[in-house]
Structure 1
Amino acid sequence: MRQVERSIFDLRRGLPVLIRSSSPQTDNSHPATLVAPLEGMSDDALKRLAEHAGNPCSLIVTRHRLEVLGIDTEHESMALPIGEHDSAAQVIDWACARHPKSQPAADEIANACDGDVAGLSLMRRGLLIPAAITAPVTDERLAAIEARIKDGSLLAIDTDAVADYENNAPYFLKRISAADVPLDDAPRSRFVLFREADGMREHLAIVIGDPEQWADAVPVRLHSACLTGDLFGSLRCDCGEQLRSSVAKIADHGGGVLLYLAQEGRGIGLANKLRAYSLQDEGLDTVDADHVLGFGDDERSYNVALEMLAQLEIRRIELLTNNPTKIEAMSRGGVEVVQRSGVYGRVTHQNRRYLTAKATRAGHWLDQVLGATPEDAEAADR
């Protein structure tokens, strides 16, 4: 697992890594593939990657990004060939521009090999744009690549290690520290910090009230972190008001737990959320903006929340949510959802489109608040 973690950090620093295939070789697989992130890619770096590998590079993108490019596929990812005259700016354009200046040749698009898929998985885990620049290493260049691995200038991992990491990372959650932190609406609150194995994400359990006095079905809120809304009071969403409303509601119910999860922007990270905001300013809704960047409707996994509840010995809950996916995730993970309660913020002119997209595209239960007229929203703003 340590090598995978180090590889993620190297990719976040803009460095390539080598991914070795753990599968038997087929026509669509390669023994070793150099993988580099899209962010910070330059013409020189693109050229060096191809030279080190001894093969041309490809751009690996997701099905959602291919749909934006007008390419239908049943595969979750595909490889777009990068020619020797294609610039880094052009490749980046293919990967994340709303209206690319050029299009890759559709008839040259190939299936992604297992090294490509593993590289894409590492980009997601590192909260980078979900696209990878890859190049299969020729037999002639393999000795030079192995020398770089031996001297520590290049990291190498295999595809099985990446798959194991994806499957098991949420279950290596460690409880790190805890302290009493009295809150305005819940004076008796204790913050318990959990850290994931790779050290990249930390999650908080806000334990409200006396656990000995909790109801049999513990009131629980799964709240994805939203820096812009929770801390700065952004009007683009209702997250901050939902957060504070949930704390007050849990306290009023005699106590329970709010899980504050490091899942900014429905799991795409703050950098990508800001990119998506810029696309929304061009007229896209929140889901379509994420698709342009190559993400799915919702990139979150609630395995970490299930692990936190397990460590807190909570198995029956009243879930404070408007999101049916959270109920399904808890039930699949063995947590019994006895009851659901809605949690709402104000509808404003700035967040109405966002809330409407959540209701119509993701099935969130928001009829109660979206029935408000624009006049009501204007009054609420005042």
Structure 2
Amino acid sequence: MTQSSAAPAQNNSNLTPATDLVTVSRAVADLRRGEIVLVQGHDNGEAHSVAVIAAEPLSQIGFDRLCDIAREGEAPAIVIPRVRAKSLGRACKNDPFIAFVSADRSGINADRLGEIANPLLDLDALPKGDWRPVSMAESAAIRLAKLARLLPAVVTVPVAPDQLENLARAQNLLVLQSESINGYENASAASLREVSQARVPLENAENATVIAFRPEDGGQEHLAIVIDEPAKDKPVLIRLHSECFTGDLIGSLRCDCGPQLRGAISEISRGGQGGIVLYLRQEGRGIGLVNKLRAYALQDRGFDTLDANEELGFDADERVYRPAAEMLRQLGFETVRLLTNNPEKMSGLESWGVKVSERVPHKFPSNGHNEFYLQTKKERAGHLF
């Protein structure tokens, strides 16, 4: 389906950027399948458009299709994180991403580009080529790859702005504006609506109700676990918990997520005043499960938990807290007591209008496998242990 511009979404806040949730969501799915999408941005007031394909699922068929789009004489570029370029021998400035353009089109293929993009691989040498800064459209394409929970690396070719519509129609490609991609997470959070709830007795909290919230584009649901019947006219005890498959479900000892989740439920239940655990679908500090496993592999090579995320091309913490604030607003709570050791969760909630009246410490003993992880959170991320 061809969609050539970002149509404004219905917003419930003047802080929400206009973005087409459905188009961005479809583009995320296309990128994960190794399909091409078209992105338009503006550099110094001038439109700049690119055809984009993600480096991680890149196939030779997809790469050949992308090359067919390129104008005569134009070579594809691979956009990779600065840290990856540095590991490949390129001294970079502080730009977070940089583009590499091979000088020899015949010497580059999908497999080679995948190797260049993969931060877990050591390469002997790069093909001959040039490095250049990225455009706004390419920067937005990286954001799209992050939304797809893929490695933040894309392959692009420029598209003349006046040919964008024709190309989209001829090849049935989606067109996105960079502003629409960059505003997606906020707009998605603003569109959250309750879709289901049920009483779910828990091991340590028998009077519990699980409420599911879904965004308008049909994306992942966030969950509110409401324990007992907390009063709405005084601060409610809450925990913001980012999902952790390894810690929550299979008992990983590399983190403290499982004890934090179960400990929060127990503490809220014991308090007798009720409270809420917001279970946010932001695995691996927002980078996704597959990338978290990659980060674990890097940690086994000596990186700490923050550097491992950055070595993959992500921020140390990619989580957003507007979904939590929106869920609390719809549940009728404006002031909270927050079970956390992380000051960023406090500031994140307050930036979206939720008052944090008290930080309630929430720490657990190390287990012999996660001392370095916890020490890193304390010394580098400012967690209050």
Q: TM-score range by the shorter chain?
A: 0.7 to 0.9
- What RMSD over aligned residues (CA atoms) do the two structures have, in Å? 2.5
Report whether the alignment pairs 1:81 with 2:116: no
> Which of 316, 339, 342 is the matching residue for 2:361?
342
Distance, in Å, in 1 between the alignment partners of 2:164 and 2:116 is 29
Q: Is the 8 A contact 2:168 2:174 kept in 1?
A: no
Q: Is the 8 A contact 1:94 1:103 kept in 2?
A: no
1:200-259 per-residue CA deviation (whole Å, 9 max, x = no partner) reads 3211000111134x7821101000000111011111111111100000111122211100
Distance, in Å, in 1 between the alignment partners of 2:228 and 2:32 is 40
1:142–1:169 distance in 2 versus 1, CA, 3 Å: closer
Q: Is the 8 A contact 1:22 1:158 kept in 2?
A: no
TM-score for both structures, normalised by structure 2:
0.86
Equivalent position amino acid for 1:37 in 2: A
SS at match of 1:11: helix
Equivalent position amino acid for 2:51 in 1: L
SS at match of 1:279: helix
Report whether the alignment pairs 1:317 with 2:339: no
> Which of 22, 40, 50 is the matching residue for 1:20?
40
Q: How many residues align?
A: 359
Distance, in Å, in 1 between the alignment partners of 2:314 and 2:128 is 21
Distance, in Å, in 1 between the alignment partners of 2:85 and 2:324 is 31
Equivalent in the alignment of 1:251: 269
Equivalent in the alignment of 1:307: 326
Q: Is the 8 A contact 1:236 1:350 kept in 2?
A: yes
Report whether the alignment pairs 1:174 with 2:193: yes
Equivalent position amino acid for 1:115 in 2: A
Report whether the alignment pairs 1:294 with 2:313: yes
1:139–1:122 distance in 2 versus 1, CA, 3 Å: closer
Distance, in Å, in 1 between the alignment partners of 2:188 and 2:77 is 28
Please identify, of 344-353 and 255-264, the stretch whose mean Cα deviation from structure 2 is larger.
Answer: 344-353
TM-score for both structures, normalised by structure 1:
0.86
Distance, in Å, in 2 between the alignment partners of 1:103 and 1:71 is 15
1:184–1:299 distance in 2 versus 1, CA, 3 Å: same
Please identify, of 98-107 and 32-41, the stretch whose mean Cα deviation from structure 2 is larger.
Answer: 98-107
1:341–1:215 distance in 2 versus 1, CA, 3 Å: farther
Equivalent in the alignment of 1:374: none
Distance, in Å, in 1 between the alignment partners of 2:321 and 2:162 is 44
SS at match of 1:346: coil
SS at match of 1:284: coil
Identity level (%): 38
Equivalent position amino acid for 2:64 in 1: K
Q: Is the 8 A contact 1:20 1:156 kept in 2?
A: yes
Where do 5+ consecutive residues of structure 2 fail to align?
1-19
1:194–1:336 distance in 2 versus 1, CA, 3 Å: same
Distance, in Å, in 1 between the alignment partners of 2:163 and 2:377 is 49
1:273–1:331 distance in 2 versus 1, CA, 3 Å: same
1:22–1:202 distance in 2 versus 1, CA, 3 Å: same
Equivalent in the alignment of 1:188: 207
Equivalent in the alignment of 1:372: none
Report whether the alignment pairs 1:97 with 2:125: no
SS at match of 2:380: helix
Distance, in Å, in 2 between the alignment partners of 1:323 and 1:157 is 35
Q: How much does 1:90 deviate?
A: 3.2
- Which structure has greater helix proportion? 1
Where do 5+ consecutive residues of structure 1 fail to align?
367-382
Q: How much does 1:129 deviate?
A: 1.0
SS at match of 2:308: helix
Equivalent in the alignment of 1:123: 145
Equivalent in the alignment of 1:218: 236
1:333–1:25 distance in 2 versus 1, CA, 3 Å: closer
Q: How much does 1:271 deviate?
A: 0.9
